[in-house]
Amino acid sequence: MLELIEKLFDKYFLGSGTSSIRPEIEVANLIRNGAYILDVRTALEAKKGLAPGATNISLFQLKSHLGELPRDRTIVTYCQTGGRAGKARDILERNGFKVVNGGGYDVICEIAMMNRSTAA
């Protein structure tokens, strides 16, 4: 029963939520090939650190900043665990962006740092 409640919560409050997180290898390839990394955590969360190369626009402000995002690159969204990144993915997709949910902060940081070290 609890699992059903969690799925309904994700669907109606988080959109695709964590269920839309793409595999790490796919996210790594996208970032390596120039994807735009979008942190959708709050400004307070982002002050604790951003993934290398990321831009922070809170999920709550995303709709008012759509004009600042690239339409010619894939956008990889992330938050703390991937739930809000899934909602951001849904919003961006509905607005014509090519976007994937990269998941949580720790995973994206690891991928971005690995890509930087292999590029050097």
> Domain boundaries in the chain?
2-119
CATH classification code of 2-119: 3.40.250.10
The string of pLDDT tens digits covering residues 43-102 is 999 999 999 999 999 999 999 999 999 999 999 999 999 999 999 999 999 999 999 999
Give pTM, 2 decimals. 0.84
H/E segment holding residue 36 = strand 36-39
Other beta carbons less than 10 A from residue 32's beta carbon: 14
User: Residue 107 is which amino acid?
Assistant: V
In which residue are the tokens 């790490």 written? Answer: 24
Q: At what angle do helices 24-32 and 105-119 cross, to 10 degrees?
A: 50
The string of pLDDT tens digits covering residues 64-79 is 999 999 999 999 999 9
